[in-house]
Structure 1
Amino acid sequence: MISSCVLKGENYDLWQKAMRNALRAKNKLGFIDGSVMQPADAGAPEASLWGPCNSMLVSWLFNSIDPALQPSIAYAETVKELWDDLKERFAIGNSTRIHQLKADIAAARQQGQSVVAYYTRLKSMWDELSNYLKVPMCTCQGCTCNMAKDLVKEREDEKTHQFLMGLDDVVFKNVRSHILSMEPLPSLNKVYSLVIQEERHRTIARGKEERTDAVGFAVQTSKPRDGLQMDRSATKYGSGERPVCSHCNKSGHEKAQCYELIGYPEGWGRGGRGSRGGRSGGRGGRGRGHAYATAVQGAGASGAGASAAAGASGSSAGASGAVSIPGLSDAQLQQIIAIIAKSNAGASNEKLNGKILELDWILDSGASHHMTGDFSCLHNVCTINPTTVGLPNGEQTVAKHEGDVVLSEGFVLERVLYVPSLECNLISISKLVSTKTCLVTFTNELCLIQDHSTRTLIGVGEQKDGVYYYHRGASGKAFHVSRKGPYDLWHQRMGHPSRQITLLLAGFNNNDVSKDVCEICMRAKQTRDVFPDSLNKAANSFDLIHCDIWGPYRVGSHCGAHYFLTIVDDYTRAVWVYLMAEKSETSCLLQSFCKMVQTQFGVTVKCIRSDNGLEFQSHHMK
């Protein structure tokens, strides 16, 4: 095969041009145009050379034809006979083909294609049309009119207008207006370059719509005292200098930050100076020292070295500290904060003295299981298959036991792994949400654990030193004995009907109605006003359809779509959904939908209602 172009019938013009170029390169073009004929004398020396060459050319042409067409030319003896047969069958008259090409060029539209694909489709039709319509050359002697040059420029401008007319209105409306306002009109290649730049700019802008949130990992280093003092003195001392304390004569801090004077933080003294303090380098400090962020990157980061102290960020806390918790009023939230502050009033003095308190439970969103290093707090302990546990410092250990932990009355952690080398207790948020069916809300001060359906408060976490600790508060118990009246009793027995329904029972009157509000009715019967009945209703199917576009969504579909068009029939409420790569496909999809309705249902869409977006106001929709 001397050409990669395969003849399939409708592409004869392209195929014959490729074959002529290939045969011309092999110096064999004369065999098909008749200039090299078969020698009349079979015994002549030229006849012995012509036969093998003819067979080779027949083989070349035969292999460049689609297998479906090969049986029809399998018995051709000479390459000239084969060439003429294909030309008579597949060559179309110039006038018919020219008319078809001009119609296709005039109707060419981008229709969601990339600019490269759209331009390539137009370019192939332009080149084929130019092959039929040659530029006439001036035959005047010493011509100075430059008619051929002006005609080439006119055709170039015509191609530019055809290219711009087919572009999507919504996407390239502005750049098209800018190009048409330029004097003189740029060349076709320059216009193509400007449109490509606009397409790339929009692609980059759409990728930036997905804003990267700031991500911080709170860690406690193995030597928190050095890291803390280096951060505080980074601006005062050079990179090669270390401050020296005048009190203890140790490097790494100044006298104002010396722990011998201001007191050691909790957790510092356990295991000696060289021991590991808390959760080193992991998902959150043990709560005994200061938490640091290894990297905070995102919209707020200005450079690769941007770092800041990172605590747990609240999912519903605003910049001003105002918090709205579902199921809790502002007064109830303030009461919770006051109770926690009261219970922790005596703990602050112990912190300044460097005393070590009982290990608390840390609410950790990065842990996959509940874990503890204190075997004494486990109940119902059982032996499990050895489970590998990855520690924050990169090491791995094995957990062989698990049990239950009672944090408070009615709040039990199940299947808590016992990790001997772990120096803290971790409550896995993912396990808590999946096993307890609860809702966890982080604010700038608290972590609230509520029942998912009733929003009843289950537990509270307090933010300390950048980490959220579960608060072990004493649960208050209240005993109340009351006698239900007949009205309340029957109200509950009958499934909480309204007052008017309950009064229909014999023996009840308005004086028997309780003035207390039923809490179950308050929770179960909270409603909002219904939408008013619309007076504008279609009388028949497809008299009125509603259209709306949703998108762009960040992750495209398998077909590359970032939008979808929803069409709803007002009468039947039937819904059609179409995926789109660009909004500019709306007009084509609506036209196709209207044709489908007319073909399948025998009716015509009378009215289209939309939000008057630009995609619904293009000239194709008129």
Structure 2
Amino acid sequence: MTTLQKPASGNWNMDTCASSHLNDSVSSLSDIFNSCIYLSVSVGDVYYILITNSSHSVLPISHRPLHLNNVLTTHNIVKNLIYVRQFVLDNSCTVEFNAFGFFVKDFLTRWVLLHCDSIGDLYPITKPSIIPHTFLTSLYTWHQRLGHPESEVLRRVLSSNSISCNKENSPVLCHACQLGKHAKLPIVSSHTSVQSLFDIVPSDLWTSLILSRSGFKYYVLFLDNYSQYVWVYSLVNKSDVLSKFVLFRDFIRTQFKCGIKSFQCDHGSEYNNHAFNKLFSDNEIQFRFSYPRTS
């Protein structure tokens, strides 16, 4: 014959089959009522046990209290039982069981409110398990997970208990944010001076957003630094830049009786190629390239 021991005071057990919260003593409860809505309850062997009181109780945890409403008190039970269905409804939470214990999580945020280990046949509410330090999530990790928000946004999310982290509450200094939010260095004003027409001719190739009826997709610009006049030529292909430059050079020779001394452009292949370099070398035109990634 086996003798069943009385439960320890305040030792609750999660029970998915119970239809009410049951407790053996009023000593661990609060808001005790002398009356109750049930005079007795039926246990597993269809035996009825007397109910003496009804009351409310609270499970104090660090995040927020978990309420046990309408607890029925009887001296004829062996284990204090928590009616899981009523528990999740009253506390807006979920209870997840596994082979090692159970988790109580906030229904909306999925924040872990309670985690208890279980090595026996039941799921008792014991001293909450300590989360190993290796599983604690730092503020910096949440900053990365949430898409690198500003520190103020991260603090608001943290204060709403929507995320959990360890004690690292210092301001987040993210190297990726520093690089991503860097502005380009200012372009230093040029001190190059020109004394006459066509001392320096900057050029650039642009792509048209709309294809013209004649099939032109690009246009090339030639600017005279001295007069600030600009000439524009339409192109079908990028490779036509060289032929347009030859037309522009011949126009300068005919109309202004002078030649181009320096030509400035970017490192695009339409400029920096063998044909352009040979033309400039044969005509003693200086090639000037802009710095990479600058206008």
Q: TM-score, normalised by structure 1?
A: 0.20
Q: Larger relative contact order (C-alpha < 8 A, sep ≥ 6)?
A: 2
Q: TM-score, normalised by structure 2?
A: 0.41
Query: Which structure shows the bigger proportion of residues in strand conformation?
Result: 2
